Each structure stands twice: as structure tokens, then as C-alpha cells.
Structure 1
């Protein structure tokens, strides 16, 4: 297909995004802290907003990473020391989005920048962006699959949130905060509601099918790619969950 020949870096990046975010998404849902990724992503986006609004895009990765790790450290501490931690995380998200709007209010292109921060167009991903993401996700995968299971206590908690922060630092810049949230939650939710196969494998498969369908649909009908990905991910996830619930009730 011609579309694949032209946009192969975007399709490969999409596969990587589904792969790495499902790893964290399954764990996040199991922990019951659904808005963790959204809060970290939103706080991380403050760094991106500062870079774009005041520094002409300079130091973007450094600023995004700094804010992401800061948010991850706060959440790691709060998850062990704060009651009703989900409410705490929700307030962090509100702080992040309000901070971004205040920062971008000083920019003539504030709303356009905000839209990009929320859901970017990954169809035009360059080969360089793909290889940068690949270089980051390989060591993160090694940590999460080999080192993380052997850890205990606060070190394990810190490792999880720092690795999530590193992942979000990259994916927020290429995909946007809301796309990252959809990638983390929707495929993992599908994987966890069924009992026949490994949740992670199902999340990878269903997430890949959904994101590729969304990207092809976005290109074919000239729709915004980021929001198309969110829409398809959510529809597929909700549809699967409802059908699976109906199937289980029939079997009972």
C-alpha cells in the first residue's frame, strides 16, 4: 500500500507507542491509579509549553523530562503516604492544565499550541523521531522486564514511576497528552477484562489494530490524526469491554 510506503516511520512509531504504553498501562490499572499517566503527562507538558512560548522551542526535552520526573517523584511519594491518592493525582492534573493555559495565554498561538500538546499529528513522524523513540524504549524495556520484577519496596515504586516519566517525556512530545492517556489505558483495559490470554499480549494486539486503523482512517478522510487515534482507541476499548461482559453473563 502506498500509504505504508510513505508513512512507514509513523506506523512503526505507532507500534512502539502501543508496545511501551501497554507495559505501563496494565500496571497502572491494576494499581487503581488511572489518572497517574494523565497527571504526569500534563505536568510534563508544562515544560513543553514553557519551551515553545518563551524559548522558541529550545531545551524542550530537558524541560519536559524535568517536569515529568518531578511529577513522578511526587506521585511515587503520595502513593505511599497520602490517603485518597487518586484525588491527589487528579488535583495534580488540574494544576498542570491550568498552568499550561496561563503560560500559553502569553503566546499569540496559544490555542494552536495547546491543541498540539493534547493530540499531535504523528502521521508526519520522521525517521529520526522513530529511531530516537526506539533508542529510548529499548533500555526502558530492559529495566521493566528484567530489573523491575526483581526489585522491592520503595526502589521498585520509584523505578516504575521514573520509567513512566521517561516514556511520557518522549511520547507527549510526539503524540500529545490525551493520545498518551488513550494508549496507556484503552489497550490495557481490553487486556485485563478478558481471562483467556495474557493481558499484555491482548493489549499489544488490540492496541496495534486500533491505532493502525485510526491512522489509515485519518489519512483517508483527512481527519486530525491524534484525535482519530483517541476516538478509535476508546470506541474499540468500550465495545470490547461491553461485549466481553455480555458474553460472560451468557456463559453464567
Structure 2
């Protein structure tokens, strides 16, 4: 059983490694809905493939997330209204997943899996493969900053973002991806820290969520989401009150 717990912890750390970076970027840019909108688009592809082919299709999921990524990129031309558009994109994806899976015999079960999977049962081979894949994405992110400028740099960012989100959603679900991406980044930026702090903080919360779910027999995915969201909210409120008292 300890191997199961270790695999879940390793996977959460692998996910955190690249998602914290993307989280710092989207929080700084003020396009928070971008992550969950693209993640939800990826889930649409998975839901459609389950409905049409009775099995998940990575390709269809990737095509949907890439389309959402391109739309988010184009929305930046109307920056004042972009967040509203991205929010509607998420709502469209969420409702479409529900509508599609309502026609499936195991629709509710599949919906819960697309929201937050039980990551205790992800095999070690999948964790290693994901770690290698994200290391390659990290290299491309570095090369993008070094060699690309302007529109092409932004396009490369959203393509890599979409690829990462697609892989993560198929593994752990939309809500886990969103919470791991946004919460550590938000806390780090609130405390005026950097990416290293986001990694360490996120790892501590992930560990607490997985260990508690293991010993209390709770759904692992939703436990992780709950703790990331809870401590992110508490930190935000704390900083808000401290600033209020200082005038």
C-alpha cells in the first residue's frame, strides 16, 4: 500500500513542477480562467471520444484544448473583455461535457473522473513517462523564451500550455489541474515569493491532501483540490486583512 501512496505523491510533484510555472504566468497576466477553460476543453474531447468510440482519445482531447488555447490567445486582442470570454469558454465546455455524458450509461461516474480522478492508482510507469514528457516541455519553454519573441512566443506558450493541460487532465482531471496550477502560484505571488516557493508550498499541501485521504479513506483527488483551494483562500483573506489594517 505504501507503493500506492508513493506513486500518488510522485505524480503530484511531477504535475506541480510544470503547472506551478504556468500558474505564475497566468496569475501574473490576470487570465486565471485560461487554465480551467483549456482543461475543460480537453475534457470535452475526452467526453466526446467516450461517447463516440467508447474509449478516451488523446488526439481528440488535444485538438479541443489546442482550439481553446488559440481562442484564448486571440482573445488577448480585446484584453479588457478577454476574461469574460474565457469564462464563457469554460462554461460552454462544462455544459457540453454534462450534455454528452448524460447520454452515457456511466455518465456520472465518467464526469467525476474528468473532474478529479483517484490518483492513488496511477501506475509508476505512467508517473515516469509523465515526468519525462514534462521535462521535454520544460526544455521547449526555455527555448521559447530564448529564441522566440512577440506573437510566436505567445503562440508557443499556449501550444505548450495546451499540450501540458491535455496530458494532465487525462491523468488526474480538470479540478486537480486547476488547483495545482493556480493555488501555489497565487500564494507565492501574494507573499512576493518566486517559483521555488510555489514548488515547495504546493508539495507540502499535495502531500497533506494525499496522506489525509489515504488514512481517512477519502477521495484522493477531491481531497487534494479541497486543501489547495482552502489554504489558497485562507492566505488570500489573511493578506487582504493585513493590507486593510495597514491602510
Alignment of 1:98-113 (within 5 A): 98-113=95-110
Aligned counterparts of 2:14 and 2:243: Cα–Cα separation in 1: 32
**How many pairs were matched up?**
247
Q: Tell me which residue corresponds to 1:153.
A: 150
Q: Tell me which residue corresponds to 2:61.
A: 64
1:211-242 CA-to-partner distances (Å, cap 9, x unmatched) read 11100011111111111011100112122333
Q: Tell me which residue corresponds to 1:31.
A: 29
Bigger Cα displacement from structure 2, 5-14 vs 174-183 = 5-14
Q: In structure 2, the residue corresponding to 1:108 is in which secondary structure?
A: coil
Bigger Cα displacement from structure 2, 27-36 vs 75-84 = 75-84
Alpha-carbon contact 1:116-1:176 (below 8 Å) kept? yes
Aligned counterparts of 1:70 and 1:45: Cα–Cα separation in 2: 13
2:215 pairs with one of 217, 220, 227: 220
Q: Tell me which residue corresponds to 1:7.
A: 5
Provide the TM-score with structure 1 as the length reference.
0.92
Bigger Cα displacement from structure 2, 179-188 vs 138-147 = 138-147
Structure 1 unaligned segments of length 5 or more: list them: none
Q: In structure 2, the residue corresponding to 1:240 is in which secondary structure?
A: helix
Q: Tell me which residue corresponds to 2:20.
A: 22
Alpha-carbon contact 1:148-1:160 (below 8 Å) kept? no
Alpha-carbon contact 1:148-1:159 (below 8 Å) kept? no
State yes or no: 1:138 paired with 2:135: yes
Q: In structure 2, the residue corresponding to 1:27 is in which secondary structure?
A: helix
Alpha-carbon contact 1:46-1:96 (below 8 Å) kept? yes
Bigger Cα displacement from structure 2, 180-189 vs 44-53 = 44-53
Alpha-carbon contact 2:188-2:195 (below 8 Å) kept? yes
Aligned counterparts of 2:242 and 2:94: Cα–Cα separation in 1: 39
Provide the TM-score with structure 2 as the length reference.
0.93
Q: Tell me which residue corresponds to 1:201.
A: 196
RMSD: 1.8
| Deviation at residue 54 of structure 1 after TM alignment | 2.4
| Deviation at residue 248 of structure 1 after TM alignment | 5.7
2:43 pairs with one of 42, 45, 50: 45
1:163-208 CA-to-partner distances (Å, cap 9, x unmatched) read 110110111011111111111110000110112x4x2111111110
Q: Tell me which residue corresponds to 2:170.
A: 173
Q: Tell me which residue corresponds to 1:116.
A: 113
Q: Tell me which residue corresponds to 2:183.
A: 186
Q: In structure 2, the residue corresponding to 1:239 is in which secondary structure?
A: helix
Aligned counterparts of 2:225 and 2:146: Cα–Cα separation in 1: 31
| Deviation at residue 56 of structure 1 after TM alignment | 2.1
Aligned counterparts of 2:4 and 2:101: Cα–Cα separation in 1: 34
